[in-house]
Every structure is written in C-alpha cells, then in structure tokens.
Structure 1
Amino acid sequence: MTRSRAQKSKFGESAFIGYIQDQQRTNHTDQLHCLFACFLSQLEPTSIAKALEDPDWVAAMQEEMQQFINQKVWTLVPLPDGKNAIGTKWILKNKRDARGIVVRNKARLVAQGHRQEEGIDYDEVFAPVARIEAIRLFLAFASYMGFLVYQMDVKSAFLYGEIEEEVYVTQPKGFEDPYFPKHVYRVVKALYGLHQAPRAWYARLSAFLLQHNYRRGTIDKTLFIKKDSRDILLVQVYVDDIMFGSTNKVWCDEFEVLMKGEFEMSAMGEMNFFLGLQVKQLPDGIFISQDKYVKDMLTKFDMESVRTATTPYEAAKTKLKDETDPPVNVHLYRSMIGSLMYLTASRPDIMFAVSACSRHQVTPLTSHLNAVKKIFKYLKGQPKLGLWYPKDSPFQLEAYSDSDYAGSHGDRKSTTGGCQFLGRRLISWQCKKQTIVATSSTEAEYVAAASCCAQVLWIQNQLLDYGFNFMNTKIFIDNQSTICIVKNPVFHQRTKHIEIRHHFIRDANEKNLIQVLKIHTDDNVADLLTKAFDGPRFEYLVVHIGMVDMVFCGILFSCDCSFCCAQFDIAGWLVSATSHLVSAGSLQSCWYNNVSAK
C-alpha cells in the first residue's frame, strides 16, 4: 500500500506510527525500519502517469533530476539541423534490504541507447568489470589476513564520466521545460543507457585513483592497490559497487574520506551483500552464500511446496521407442536455466547439473524440464549451502582436474571439470563440455588438465598483485598417462592427434609454473563437476570441496559436544578417519539440539 493510499484508509499513516510506538518494541532497529517504511511507496507504478500521481515517486524523480543539475550533466538547447534526439525513459524500482523490506524508492532516468548509431553517437564502449573469481579471491585473501571488507556505492556513478561525442536526448516525461518544450538536452556527462557510459565512468574513476598514488592491477584492471612494506589496501570495482579492505584500518578510513571528497558516495559499512552474494564475516572466517536468492527463485517458479531431493541431477536414461517426450515452453525453460546459472556463483554443487541442462535450451523437452525441476527440488532441501573460507587455513594455491570420458551420450564428447583452492578456500571452478571428440580417456584428461592449467596461470598472475608468487602449483590428476604426456615434451604417436593449443601445459610444466601429481579417483574433488552421483558419494564431494550449511557455520564454534568435535576441526572442515561422510542430517540435528539446550 502506498503512502498516498494509506492516507485514504481508515487508519492512516499517523495511526500506524502510533500503533508501532504503542507496541514498545525493544528491537530499536526494527522499529526504525517500520517507521521509515511508512514514508515510502510499497508498490512500483506500472506507468509514468501513475508515478506522477504518487508524491513518493515524484520525490524520487525530483531527487534524480537534482543529481543531473548537481553534476551538470546536460544543457538545454534547440535541436540542430541534421541531428536526431535519443529518447529517455524512467525506470522505477523499489530497493529492498536482505529481509525484503523496502528501503528506498529509486527513480532512474535512462537514455534509450538502442537508438544510438555506431560511429555517430558512440565509438569505443568496452569497460572492464571484475570477474566473479576475482571477488572470491579478494574474500579468500581477506579471510587469510583477518581484515574486514567494506563496501561503498557511488550515487549516479555514470553521471561523472565525460563523453566526447555530440549526443542529444529528449526532455524526460513530466519534467518538460514550460518555456522551451521543443528544446532537447545536449549530454555532456555520461547518461545511464548510453553505450559509452560504463567506459566513461571507468576512465573517470581509474584516473582519479591513479592520481592519488593507487596502482592498477597487472591482470585485473578493476583492482587498485596501495601498499608499503607492512600493510596493503585493496580496492575492487564492479561498475558503481566498490569493495575494499586493508590490513591497516586507518587506510580504509582515509580511502573512504578520499572517495567522499570527490564523488557522492553511500558508505555501507561492512560488506554483507555484493553482486548477489551474501557475505557473512565471522571472527574465524568468511561464509559466502545465496540463500535469499534461492528463496526468491523457488517462489518465482512456484517450487516452494515440492518434495526435496538429495542430489541435483541423475544420469539421463535411454528412452524407449514408443515413449513420448513433448516439447515445453522454451521461455520458461530458459528463464529457469538463466536463474540457476546466476546461482552457480556460490554453488559448485549444482554446476554440473546446470551445465548439462543448459545444453537443451533450443528445443527443450519434458524430460529436460523434469531434470531442471530436480535441481530446484535439491535446492529446496539445501537452500543455505555456501562456501566457507576459514581464517586459519594456509594460503597455498593448488588445483584438481578431472574429465568424464564420452559422458555426453548425444555426441560422445567428454566433460571437463576443474577447481582451484587457496588452502581450503575454493575460489574457482569449471564445468564445460569439450569441443573435441576425444579418442581416449587420456586425451580427455589431457584437455581438461590444460583448461585447469590456464585458470591456475591466471590466478598466479592475479596473486602477484597481492604480493604472493606461487611457483610449482600442484595440479592433481587421477590419470597417470596424462601426467606422463605432460612431463614428456616429445610428440609421439599418442599425442599427434591432440590439438596444439592444448600443449601449452607442457611449457608451463617445463618452466616450473605448475607440477602435475597423481591422485586417487576417490579423492579427486573435481569429480563433482564432471558427472552425476548417488547420495553418499555426492555428499562426500560437496563437503570436501569446501561447502557447509549456513546453520553449521553460524553455530559451529558454539558447539563443543564430542560428536561434532570428532567430525570437525576448528576451521569447520570435515575430517573423518574412515573417509566416510557422516550424515548431514545427524550433524544438523546434533547442532540444533545443542543450540536449543543452550
């Protein structure tokens, strides 16, 4: 109910505020949230006409227009002959916190960039953004060094970037100049929606930080570093979201003051939500999850009341000749796959399942939709699984590589799987169907090892900016023939059919950048990313790849019973002398009982 509508109700705004105060709530934060929500519209208008009827949204649009005036984004001029004006559009969205409470009515004026013509309205448009692996690497380093990570948000970031092209936009609806209604705005600063806006903003921000003695990352151009012999400050930029942390708290305060002096910033304190990742910073480590997104996704696709599943995927069965498999709604299928792919940023346990289902987006059938629903059933039962980065784990790079030979029954191609760790912190993983048809399991493993090596080399170069030089990184492979081919630089009968682009792993081995080691198949955690498994084996791999439940993470250090201590060390990593995974249900039950008892 919007504020304007609440005024027409029999209770009204003042009655609601009075009711909240009469409750005499002891939770002061919740009380302030409730009071603040009274002055925000709870509904998003479906048209600009309805928005202009609501004073809350009018205020939000006026705030946006004031930003344009403050930043001197444009000037009102008559449209020159031979020039075309690009349209503008209002985007009206409610901003919510992690609990779903509306905290802001956000009105954003954007240009209709699809009407721009290349070479006339824009030229270069590429702007670097941080890779999700870089974000996880940043958090892994923070957990190892033991410092807090903070977050800042730039208000109307794109309005700070300057553009060189001559661009004109129409006056926004509801805010036309009464004296010059036919005039247009000539854009001086980058406007949201313009193709060149992200590039202009990045150029503006990077120039400012370089001017103040920050060094840009060698590989990752969105990473900015300041360090001396004892301390280091890291700044990671993703468009207008900035995360930073330092071993010296004073440096964080100085950086915040520096940014606020140049840009209009929103200091958000300790980082707990970044790019859809929920980050919980604890004294003994950092926990990364997306349980809120899982809940929203289950609600979106009406999967809240389904039965749970113990695994996300089952191997496809051969269909009978007379078995029907009708097609399904392609838009629904693609929407479900797209939502699941976003979730793989913190859930390697569903990576293989999502990758396998995403191969059928052109003509999805009922069997394919049932496979996707199986993933949702698994998420229903395990919504709070996430990555645990323990503080006391060593900071040493190692990787695991594996492949499933001819695992794709349709074209008999193999599946590449790989994962990279910093100690016990999983920071990167891959699952991809190979582009070639391998003629042997050795060839499939060799191609997978080359893919894993490429990711390891990128991480090595990234860590040079952090001050770590990792040579001889261990890559564990469960195929002895592959290890022999990597170590033997001679091309012979068994390797001449392998494409040359995969042989760079030999060069990396000769330069001592990596070393390949044999590991038993049962201990290769990359196996999780190559094929489907039954319940016990799947649970074993999920835990050993570094995933724990949020409930476990939150109460791990408050439980001192002998059962839990026998299964977990102080870092929260499962250690079982018999190499068998103890039932997650029994552990959870034990912890629940201990907490309730306390």
Structure 2
Amino acid sequence: MAKPHAFEKNGCNLVCKLNKALYGLKQAPRAWYFKLKQVLQRLGFIFSHANNSLFFRKPSDSYILILVCVDDILITSSHDTEVDKIVKLLDVSFSIKDLGPIHQFLGIEVKQCNGGLHLCQHHYVKELLAKVNMSDAKGSVTPMVSSPHLSKSSGNSITDATLYGSVIGGLQYITITRSNIVYSVNKLSQYMQHSLDSHWKTVKRVLRYLATTPTFSLSFVPSPNLHITGFSDSDWATNIDDRKFITGFCVYLGDNIVSWCSKKQAFVSRSSTEAEYCSLANCATELLWMKQTLADYKCSFENVPIFCDNISAINIAQNPVHHNRTKHIEIRHHFLRDCVSKRKIEISFVPSQDQLADIFTKPLTSETFASIRARLGIMHIE
C-alpha cells in the first residue's frame, strides 16, 4: 500500500478528538466540508454509510480512501500515482498544503517500518508525565494492581480534584493507541466526582507504567487472510459500591485489533452467565457495525466468530429453550439469538488462558498482562 499523505486546509484551526482507533472522527466544519463532499462526489467518491468522514473510490485496479477530520485530510491508496492525481484535482478547488507521507496526525505519531504501520503517542505521554512531575518516576510493569479493589470510600479526599480530572482526560486520549490501559482508565474515570487519595495513587501507577513503556506503539501488519474475529468477556459484581459488572470486548480484522471496549454497565446482573451473555450481545453489535462498514468496500463476511470462556452463556445463545435461566435477562440482549440463528454470528468457546478480552475487564498478573499486550499488537518500536 502506498504511504498515506496528510493535507491541511488553510484558515481553519478547530480542534477535534479521535474516538476510536480507525473510525469515529468528528465531522469537519459544515461549509467547506459540504463543498469538499460535492467535489469528491464529482470525482466518483462515495462516503461510508458507517462514517460520514470517510470517503472511498475503487478504480479498476485499486482503492483510494480519504479521511476528513476538521481541516485535516488523510489520503491513502494502493498506488502512489492515484494519490498524486487526487491531490492535483483537490488543489484546483481548495488551497491545500501537502504535508507529504504521514508522520503525525491529531497528535498521534505514525511510523512505517518492518512492513507495518505503527501508531505511537510518545511525545504526548512525555508531556503528561511532565505535567505531574513524574518524568523520572520509578517504573511499573502493570498499570493496576489486582487488590485491593477501589471504591468510593477507600481513602480521603484529595486537594486538587481539577488535576485528577485533567490527568484522566489525558489518559483517555492515550487509550487511542494503548488499549492495554483502557480498563484502568475506565475504572478511574468512575471517581471523577469524588476523587480520593487511593484513586490518585492508582492514577500515578498508570503513569508509572507509561513511564516504563513510553515508546510502545499500536502496530498494524499485513494479514494473509481478511477476517473479523471478536473476543468477549465480563467481570461480574466486582464493583463493591454497586455490584454492577464490566463488559469488555475486542475485535480483530485479520491479525490486527481495530476496536475494543471496557465499560461499566448501567444495571446489576443477577448471575455471571447473564453478565457474559450481555457482553456477548454488546460484542455482536460491534461486529455487525464492522461488517456494515466493510461492506462499503465490497468485503462480505458470514458467520463471524465471537470467542467466549463461559459455556452457559454460549448455550443460551445457541438454544432458545432456557426459560428458567433466561427469564430475568433483558429482552434487548436476546437479539444475539437471532444473530446466531441467522448465522450472522457464531459463538465459540475459548479457554480462559486464551481469552484476550480479560485485559478489558480486570487487573491481571504481570505475565498474563504482557502476553495479552503483545497479542493486542502493542509493542516497542525504535
């Protein structure tokens, strides 16, 4: 694939934020975005139904993708000549600045080496550490300890709650490329309204972990087979304040992780099976969205697998005759059965030691954490 090129439209300095690793960018200012959309449509581009900031065109032998984020444009194609043609055509209608092969986009550093694309936030991590005077902090091998559990009453109030919120915001931005800290940041975000010294101590541990691994990058490598795979997990009733459970899942496209989630649910589950079943339903929703997105590029997938380590949840998804076990589960989660029966989704068992979604639902030992981190594609790149 040709090297992506970055471009900037003059005269606009709005700021935006990435919501996901590849998608979810906020839309550009309406006036020039509308004009750009008209120009691209005249050039034969179609906007993605899943994301109206993403445009694509398929000439006879190649793809061209254009990603628009406020006043920044990212163009990539399987042929360099196609990129050059689009640049010249856009320059007729807009005043653009060619920034060349991409090295940085929205504060994310991009490296192309070893046959892959690597996304890093090294400088942003350094700035965040300097902000809290932790540039020379002692390192940590994991971002969070497994015990004791955090709670709303596990310490004393801190004096600078504003700093706590600011650092959490910075950590949330770092999760764009560092999915291995998503669980920790999600957990600490729950105490924004009443931050305690125990919470701040845990924040500092996350920062010490980042100080140990500032150059780690999210890597994307060529895959011989293009397929979608999901891993789903939950952590039942471990929140000692309200006993609500955590949903975690990740989605792979080929050998690369492209989507992940760690989220505290809004209701209390009555059983671990219900929690796992609801997590499967959430993962299935993401997979269906991913299938719709890739359908724009003429990529079709049947019977996409989700791996789960709870046999009871798998049985419920595959067998609708479980009335006594499932009558307490919300109806909205039972669309999973429909997906399974129509062969849109396939639920498969995976041993707990191979469950990659564990990193999104609970703190892990250093050995397990390092193993899953590597399989998430997060590694040190010189």
Same fold (TM over 0.5): yes
1:156 corresponds to 2:11:
yes
- Give 3-state SS (helix, strand or coil) of 1:243's partner: strand
Give the 3 Å change call, closer, same or farther, for CA 550–250 of structure 1 in structure 2: same
Query: CA separation in 2, counterparts of 1:310 and 1:433?
Result: 25
Given candidates 187, 200, 209, the residue that maps to 1:378 is: 209
Partner residue, 1:269: 100
Q: How many residues align?
A: 368
Please state how far the C-alpha of 1:225 moved relative to its aligned partner. 1.4
Distance 1:384 1:524 in 2: 26
Q: 1:228 — aligned with what?
A: 59
Matching residue within 448, 455, 458 for 2:279: 448
Larger Rg: 1
1:326 maps to which residue? 157
1:18-417 map, 5 Å: 146-157=1-12, 198-282=29-113, 284-317=115-148, 325-417=156-248
Asked if 1 retains the 8 angstrom alpha-carbon contact of 2:234 and 2:246, the reply is yes
Aligned to 1:518: 349
Instruction: Give the drift of 1:324.
Output: 5.6
Q: Which amino acid aligns with 2:318?
A: K
Give the aligned residue type for 1:512.
Answer: R
Structure 2 stretches lacking a partner, 5+ long: 15-26
1:583 alignment partner in structure 2: none
Identity %: 35
* Aligned partners of 2:140 and 2:208 also within 8 Å: yes
Q: Does 1:439 align with 2:270?
A: yes
Residues 400 and 419 in structure 1, CA contact (< 8 A), matched pair in contact too? yes
1:541 corresponds in structure 2 to 372
1:483-513 superposed Cα distances (whole Å, 9 cap, x missing partner): 1111123461211111111112222222221
- Are the counterparts in 2 of residues 328 and 369 from structure 1 also a CA contact under 8 Å? no
Give the AA of the match of 1:235: I
Distance 1:282 1:211, change over 3 A: same
Task: State the SS of the aligned residue for 1:370.
Answer: helix
3-state DSSP of counterpart to 1:533: coil
Q: Is the 8 A contact 1:413 1:434 kept in 2?
A: yes
Whole-angstrom distance in 1 between the partners of 2:138 and 2:212: 8
TM-score between the two structures when normalised by the length of structure 2: 0.92
Aligned counterpart in structure 1 of residue 314 of structure 2, from 471, 483, 486: 483
1:527 to 358, 361, 373: 358
Post-superposition CA distance 1:19-46 (Å, at most 9, x none):
xxxxxxxxxxxxxxxxxxxxxxxxxxxx
Q: 1:197 to 1:550 in 2, by over 3 A?
A: closer
Q: Which has the higher contact order (CA 8 A, sep 6+)?
A: 2
1:571 corresponding residue in structure 2: none
RMSD: 2.0
TM-score of the superposition, structure 1-length normalised?
Answer: 0.59
Write the distance in 2 (CA, Å) between the matches of 1:323 and 1:476: 35
Query: For residue 17 of structure 2, what is the aligned residue in structure 1?
Result: none
Aligned to 1:242, the other structure's residue is in SS state strand
Larger mean Cα displacement after TM superposition, 489-498 or 146-155: 489-498
Aligned to 1:474: 305
Paired residue type of 2:244:
K
Q: Distance in 2 between matches of 1:510 and 1:326?
A: 51
Amino acid in structure 1 at the alignment position of 2:334: H
Residue 351 of structure 1, CA deviation: 0.6
Structure 1, unaligned runs of 5 or more: 1-145, 160-195, 552-598
Aligned partner of 1:5 in structure 2 is none
CA deviation vs aligned residue, 1:448-491 (integer Å, no higher than 9, x gap): 11111111111111111222111211110111111111112346
The corresponding residue for 1:492 is: 323
- Measured in 1, the distance between the counterparts of 2:248 and 2:195 equals 24
